[in-house]
């Protein structure tokens, strides 16, 4: 068993084992006991890894640099999905900026997030801002506008977002005849369309199977997978590390950005299942040898 300070850990490549990221240092391997890690903000993590990682941790754990991620922005963060993610990341100790097309709506949403957060934490820095300011102020930006507003938002914000890790959570859906269905653009997915339009952003897609309703209840553990995909491995590692700080979330890497077409469609699948069973089901991948 190992106990010690650590900034980030990440699971990736289910078959290959796990990868841990400590600032610039990436350690690959497997251990066979629980490890107990604490990030720079004092949040505790427990995780079970398989393989040889524990040996490496002994050598590097006490001189771990601060993570480069401190502020997280949400474009369209006034909606339930953005507010829900904001609650969870703020509860994990990150600064959060809720973006909106309207400054007063952004402030209102930030106040709502703070009220929800007060159930679990009183230390978070949560504020509202215009989308462009939220983008500029943040290390990682989540895009949580409806699909109908995606391209216009990117057109307006591309210079503020340039070079940043952007997580596309958008699921294009149709509700013809009251039946939720995936409604992808011709290229295959909203994520691929966004990446084609703005190749200078570091795109990751994911979290389509996390419902706002669950995210907005910070006293309940999520107990589900946060499935992501993308073509920028380093960006995926950073996003996975962030997600693994949220209690009850297990990041799962679904491969290239092309997998976004399945993740976006999975939102429709879950809505249909939840309608059928009057439930609040989420999606967890069985049989993975991680986390
Ligand atoms: N809700 C869920 O459980 C869930 C689950 C999985 C994925 N998603 C995806 O996450 C995204 C956000 O979901 P949501 O339910 O939070 O959406 P939402 O409430 O419909 O929209 C979020 C925010 O986007 C802004 N917005 C609305 N129309 C816009 C437009 N045409 N152009 C630019 N901004 C616009 C609005 O903010 P301002 O008016 O303040 O600018 C709005 O509050 C969606 O793409 C959805 O498919 C949601």
pLDDT digits (tens, 9 = 90+) for 59-114: 433 333 334 578 999 999 999 999 999 999 999 999 999 999 999 999 999 999 99
Give me the mean pLDDT over the 260-266 stretch. 98
155 burial type by CB count under 10 A (0-12 exposed, 13-18 middle, 19+ buried): exposed
d(CA 151, CA 41): 36
pLDDT above 90 covers a percentage of the chain that reads 73
Q: Encoding tokens for residue 88?
A: 């969870």
Tell me which of 47-61, 160-174, 200-214 is least confident. 47-61
Show the DSSP H helices in the chain as ranges.
Answer: 53-60, 80-91, 103-117, 131-137, 150-161, 190-197, 212-215, 233-243, 260-277
Instruction: Please check the confidence at residue 281 and state whether its pLDDT lies above 50.
Output: yes
Q: DSSP letters along 172-185, please? A: -EE-GGG--EE---
Q: Whose CA is nearest to atom 6 of ligand 1?
A: 208
Nearest CA to ligand 1 atom 30: 149
User: Ligand 1 mean position to 244 CA, how many Å?
Assistant: 24
Q: pLDDT class for 282, splitting at 50, 70, 90?
A: very high
The 10s digit of each residue's pLDDT in 137-158 is 999 999 999 999 999 999 999 9
Q: Where are the domains of the chain?
A: 2-63, 71-277
Residue 27: what pLDDT? 52
The residue whose CA has the least distance to atom 48 of ligand 1 is 81
CA 57 / ligand 1 centre spacing (Å)? 41
Question: Cα(81) to centroid of ligand 1, in Å?
Answer: 7
Tokens 């990150």 belong to residue: 94
* Residue 41 pLDDT: 42
Quote the ligand 1 centre to 132 CA distance (angstroms): 16
| Calpha distance 241→67 (Å, rounded) | 10
Q: How far is the CA of 226 from the centre of ligand 1 (A)?
A: 19
Measured CA to CA in angstroms, residue 117 lies from 73, 74, 167, 243 at distances of 17, 17, 22, 17
Q: Residue holding tokens 């084609």?
A: 196
CATH fold label, 71-277: Rossmann fold (3.40.50)
> CB-based contacts of 36: which residues, under 8 Å, 6+ apart?
1, 2, 3, 4, 44, 45, 46
Residues with CB under 6 A from ligand 1: 76, 78-82, 100-102, 105, 144-149, 152-153, 169-171, 208, 211-212, 267
Q: What SS3 class is residue 40?
A: coil
Q: Whose CA is nearest to atom 47 of ligand 1?
A: 171
Place of tokens 């938002």: 153
Answer yes or no: is pLDDT of 125 > 70: yes
Atom of ligand 1 nearest to the CA of 78: 43
121 confidence band (pLDDT: 50, 70, 90):
confident
Pocket test for ligand 1, best of 103, 143, 145, 211 (most atoms within 8 A of CB): 145
Instruction: Reply yes or no on whether the pLDDT at 186 is more than 50.
Output: yes
The residue whose CB lies within 8 Å of the most ligand 1 atoms, and thus the one to mutate among 146, 181, 260, 261, is: 146
Which candidate, 229, 216, 222, 224, places its Cα nearest to that of 265? 229
Task: Please state which of the ranges 102-106, 122-126, 148-152, 181-185 shows the lowest mean pLDDT.
Answer: 122-126
* pLDDT bracket for residue 290 (50, 70, 90): confident
What CA–CA distance (Å, rounded) separates 193 from 237?
22
pLDDT per residue over 5-55, tens digit each? 344 444 433 333 445 555 444 454 443 333 444 443 444 443 444 344 444
| Backbone conformation region of residue 255, classed left if phi is above 0, alpha if psi is from -120 to 50, else beta | left
Q: Which atom of ligand 1 lies nearest, measured to the CA of 109?
A: 40
Which residues are paired to 73 by β-bridges? 97, 141
161-169: average pLDDT: 97
Q: How far is CA 268 from CA 64, 171, 179, 181, 289, in A?
A: 41, 8, 9, 5, 27
């Amino acid at each position: 068993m190992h106990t010690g300070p650590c900034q980030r850990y990440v699971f990736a490549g289910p078959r290959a084992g796990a990868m841990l990221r400590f600032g610039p240092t990436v350690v690959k391997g497997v251990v066979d006991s629980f490890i107990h890690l604490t990030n720079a903000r004092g949040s505790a993590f427990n995780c079970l890894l398989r393989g040889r990682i524990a040996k490496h941790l002994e050598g590097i754990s006490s001189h771990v640099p601060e993570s480069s991620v401190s502020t997280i922005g949400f474009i369209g963060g006034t909606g339930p999905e953005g507010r829900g993610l904001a609650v969870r990341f703020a509860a994990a100790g990150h600064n959060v900026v809720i973006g909106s097309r309207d400054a007063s709506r952004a402030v209102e949403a930030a106040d709502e997030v703070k009220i929800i957060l007060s159930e679990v934490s009183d230390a978070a820095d949560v504020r509202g801002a215009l989308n462009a300011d939220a983008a500029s102020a943040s290390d990682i930006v989540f895009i949580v506008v409806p699909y109908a507003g995606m391209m216009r938002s990117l057109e307006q914000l591309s210079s503020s977002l340039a070079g940043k890790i952007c997580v596309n959570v958008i699921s294009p859906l149709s509700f013809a005849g009251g039946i939720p269905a995936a409604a992808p653009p011709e290229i295959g997915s909203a994520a691929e369309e966004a990446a084609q339009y703005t190749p200078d952003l570091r795109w990751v897609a994911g979290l389509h199977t996390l419902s706002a309703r669950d995210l907005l209840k910070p006293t309940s553990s999520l107990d589900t997978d946060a499935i992501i995909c993308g073509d920028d491995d380093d960006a995926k590692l950073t996003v996975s590390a962030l997600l693994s700080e949220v209690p009850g979330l297990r990041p799962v890497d679904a491969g290239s950005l092309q997998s976004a077409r399945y993740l976006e469609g999975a939102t429709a699948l879950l809505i249909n299942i939840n309608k059928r069973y009057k439930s609040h089901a989420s999606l967890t991948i069985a049989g993975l040898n991680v986390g």
